Amino acid sequence: MYSAHPLATCLLDATRLRSSHRLDYQKDVRWLFQLRLEQWQTELGAPLRLQQPKSLIARLRRDDARVFDEAPYTYATGLEAAPFKTIDAGFCIGYGFDDYSMRALNYACVKPWQSGPSSYLGAGAALLGSFAVILDRKPMGNVPCLPDPAVQCVARVEWPHGKTRSVQAWQGVWIDEKRLHSTLAQALRAVPIDAVVWAATRWPPVSANYMSLFMEHYGHLDADEVALRKRLGFPPKGKPVGEEILYRSVCEAFTTEPVLRRYRGREMERLELDIFLPERRLAFEYQGDQHFRPLKHWQGEDGFARQQQRDARKRVLCAELNYQLVEMESGDDLRREGVIETLRRKRFIKPEFC
């Protein structure tokens, strides 16, 4: 029986990933997992038989098959009770869209009347693990026929999905019992939580501290992400990935100059600059969610107030010291090109700088 954990196996191939942006990091992990899963199926004698993308999928897709248009898309359902349905395409970017296909990875159906698409609507309002796929022993449409070992080697919960398919969730399940039938809730509770990558929240998380209740309860079990972060050279859980990416990008942009990390010179009055280029008197600050809203399971209201005071004092000090301060947020382009464009826009470098 094939018993190796697919994601744990794919970590061996992770050295080729060199994500340069926080969102790229999440996409790379999903892509890596998807690639390994497909290889794993082929080894088991069950090659993928995927249908051509339907018109809805084609509408969402752009040239790159893994890149979607984020604009919401409304289509006619043909149902009298609900003639139109709006797809949150931004949600699809994070958690996959390929109706009833093995590529529908990392998908959550928390609010089926809002979130769409339809892959797991029949499963009730449940988060189907960090990664969820539809498996079946029978070849139906574009779902491949898998031998018993492939079905048995994943920790799963299984229940009917329509008349033809069953849904199996693995890597643990978060349950909102108020929205589930008691029998389904009991079945979900029986699923072992063995290895969590990260929770399927609305937006890709920056660190473990920002995640959903699922990760608050089960975050200590996410050995896969810990191993992957270590292999890729990213900081450990609890440390923002974005700051590391920004530091690498600044180093790539200024290869011949010293770039200091977490600078705490005397002139900074015991405050810290995330990144500092002394020759240019140029400083970078990466500002995650804790700079804009209180995170109750991290800093609380008092901690948020102190964070704002430190940020304000840091801006005043930089102005007094004639340091050029660049504040970048998690949604900014943290790649080398994005950093250079930001500096040009602020006129901190010459237009011809490349």
For 2-42, the pLDDT digits (tens) are 233 333 333 333 333 444 444 444 444 445 545 555 555 55
Cα separation, 95 vs 108, in Å, equals: 7
**pLDDT band, residue 176 (cuts 50/70/90):** very low
Angle made by CA atoms 239, 131, 148, in degrees to the nearest 5? 140
Residue 329 DSSP symbol? E
The residues, ordered by sequence, that sit 6+ positions from 139 with a Cβ below 8 Å of its Cβ are 49, 145
Q: Is the dihedral of CA 222, 225, 228, 230 positive or negative?
A: negative
pTM exceeding the 0.75 threshold for the entire prediction: no
Q: Residue 295 burial by CB count (10 A; 0-12/13-18/19+): exposed, middle or buried?
A: middle
DSSP characters over 30-73: HHHHHHHHHHHHHHTT----PPPPPHHHHHHB-SSTT-B--S-E
Cα separation, 47 vs 254, in Å, equals: 47
* pLDDT for residue 294 is more than 70: no
Residue 300 DSSP symbol? H
Instruction: Write out the two tokens for 277.
Output: 């280029």
Cα separation, 354 vs 352, in Å, equals: 6
- Mean predicted confidence (pLDDT) in 100-107: 30
pLDDT in tens, 213-259: 444 444 444 555 566 566 666 666 556 677 888 888 899 899 889 99
Q: Which domains are delineated in the chain?
A: 6-232 (no CATH), 241-345 (3.40.960.10)
